[in-house]
Amino acid sequence: MFENFVVPNLLPALPELFLTTMALVILMLDLVVKSPRRTPIFVLTQATLVVCALIQLVTSTGEVAFTFSNMFVDDLMADVLKFFLYATVIVVLFYSRGYVLDREPMAKGEFYVLALFATLGMMVMISANHFLTLYLGLELLSLSLYAMVAMNRDSVVSTEAAMKYFVLGALASGMLLYGMSMIYGATGTLEITELTMRLASGGANKSVLIFGLVFLVAGLAFKLGVVPFHMWIPDVYHGAPTGVTLFIGSAPKLAAFAIVMRLLVSGLWTLAADWQNMLMILAVLSMAVGNLAAIAQTNLKRMLAYSAISHMGFMLLGIVTGVVARKSGGPDPVLALNAYSSAMFYVLAYVMMTACAFGMILLLARAGFEADELEDFKGLNKRSPWFAGMMLIVMFSMAGIPFFIGFFAKFSVLQAVVISGQYWLAIVAVIFSLIGAFYYLRVVKIMYFDAPVDTTPIAAPLDMRVLVSANGLAIALFGIFPQWLMSICAAALKNSL
């Protein structure tokens, strides 16, 4: 039985292997590092991510490569998403460094090790071509995140958030697994490419498939955080230490987009007519609940949590219309590609904006002070006109005001919706975006027209200031030249679908 053993091609999975090795090395090195600031660990973690990004760039061929008995797929979509994933994690770790150092229970090397393992989990999810690896990647990510939320263990709010996240996350994983087992029962395969072929050839029990699909969509909706599976988002975003909230709110959205694409769009697209309706309901409800509930919030982290719900709903519109475009009048790959790449563009833009928004909260936070209330941003313009300007860019961009990246993200998704002929969906999306603009603009009003409550000068280190500024300017720059990012998304999905 060992005669036909072939060593799998390790080249497509090189970044994963490197990251795993380095995470283990860092875990051991942490024992001998004496510095309380953990600078060597931090530097090594960032260097690992940079090297991973370089490996990804060098080894990316643009071809679709399978390895590990077809459980791992490396295509251009995976390359692009992983590249952005490394960039996001690097930025996130820079932002949260000062915050973590100020809070004693979190100032440990394990914070960085857990962040690396979470990154590995997301990479596995992005490259998953098998239900088993997809689930394991998801669990690796979730388990690391639960621990990171709970790390600030002297805080009751954080512990409560971790507990909620853990229980609801476990429930969601259970739903996902149940859905997967049903689909396995109907088709007899766990491999996503194989699944597509078997479904196309027909013969599978349709009602079992639909039954599984419902659970699968519910599990995915939990992980994406869209209504009515959004209950955990506000509490976890609010309760988690801001440095970790930033992590949860940004990078995992990339991985969630990847698994929705792999599971629903490539795996189960013969069932598109069924899941399309489910996603449409989720999208409309998310935009409604997210935007309306955000108005009532006085805590900025909670407000951004509801805004995350509405943004994810908006992103789903792109995925939904891709299928409509395929369905009406026969398959139209150009329109479908357009819709999917607009969804991908939306996710990338959202991650960029949310990183900057939480970066601003972290910039104002200091030891013993969280800066997460709307009050804390009062009169920011008088304290620091430059950073008030950065926050203005983020808020305008999230509201979808031209010419920032958020506008083009919304615009391209809406364009896809209109082309697919679902005008009512486009109208609903625009109305809720307008309602949403209110609470983003309120932040701007608070910063520019209210008197400051807190007059402490901003004492963030230089690297943090530079990075937040760069992030804010990137939002503006990509808003002027959105075609750079758009063409990357289109190219990435063209070779992957």
Partner 1 sequence: MDIPTLTFFAFAAVLIFASMRVITARNPVHAALHLILAFFTCGAIWALLQAEFLAIAIILVYVGAVMVLFLFVVMMLDINMDRIRQGFWKHLPLGVVIGLLMVLEMGMVLGSRYFQVPAADAIEPANVSNVKTLGALMFSDYVYPFELASIVLLVGMIAAIVLTHRGPKNTKYINPSKQIAVKAQDRVRVLQMPVEKE
Task: Kindly list the residues in this chain that would bind partner 1 in the complex (CB under 8 A).
Answer: 1-2, 5, 8, 13, 20, 27, 68-69, 71-72, 108, 110, 113-114, 117, 120, 124, 130, 132-133, 136-137, 139-140, 143-144, 146-147, 150-151, 153
Hey, what amino acid is at 126? I
CB of 190 to partner 1, least distance (A): 10
Q: Are 458 and 384 in contact (CB under 8 A)?
A: yes
CB of 69 to partner 1, least distance (A): 4
Rounded distance, CA 211 to CA 271, Å?
A: 12
Residue 198's CB is within 10 A of a number of other CB atoms, namely 16
CB of 182 to partner 1, least distance (A): 17
**DSSP string across 285-350:** HHHHHHHHHHHT--BHHHHHHHHHHHHHHHHHHHHHHHHHHHHTTS--HHHHHHHHHHHHHHHHHH
Helix axes 385-399, 405-419, angle to 10 degrees: 0
Instruction: Decide whether 143 or 419 has the Cβ nearer to partner 1.
Output: 143
Chain-centroid distance of CA 82 in Å reads 12
Instruction: Decide whether 68 or 178 has the Cβ nearer to partner 1.
Output: 68
Instruction: Decide whether 98 or 121 has the Cβ nearer to partner 1.
Output: 121
CB of 188 to partner 1, least distance (A): 16
What is the 8-class DSSP label of residue 140? H
Residue 57's CB is within 10 A of a number of other CB atoms, namely 10
Instruction: Decide whether 71 or 305 has the Cβ nearer to partner 1.
Output: 71
Rounded distance, CA 221 to CA 108, Å?
A: 33
Q: Are 116 and 48 in contact (CB under 8 A)?
A: yes
CB of 67 to partner 1, least distance (A): 8
Instruction: Decide whether 33 or 476 has the Cβ nearer to partner 1.
Output: 33
CA atoms within 13 A on the CB side of 388: 20
Instruction: Decide whether 84 or 112 has the Cβ nearer to partner 1.
Output: 112
Q: What is the CA radius of gyration of the chain?
A: 22
Hey, what amino acid is at 245? T
Instruction: Decide whether 114 or 320 has the Cβ nearer to partner 1.
Output: 114
CB of 143 to partner 1, least distance (A): 5
Instruction: Decide whether 120 or 467 has the Cβ nearer to partner 1.
Output: 120
CB of 299 to partner 1, least distance (A): 25
CB of 361 to partner 1, least distance (A): 24
Classify residue 443 as left (phi > 0), alpha (psi -120 to 50) or beta: alpha
Taking CA atoms, 346 is separated from 289, 352, 420, 440, in Å, by 19, 10, 18, 18
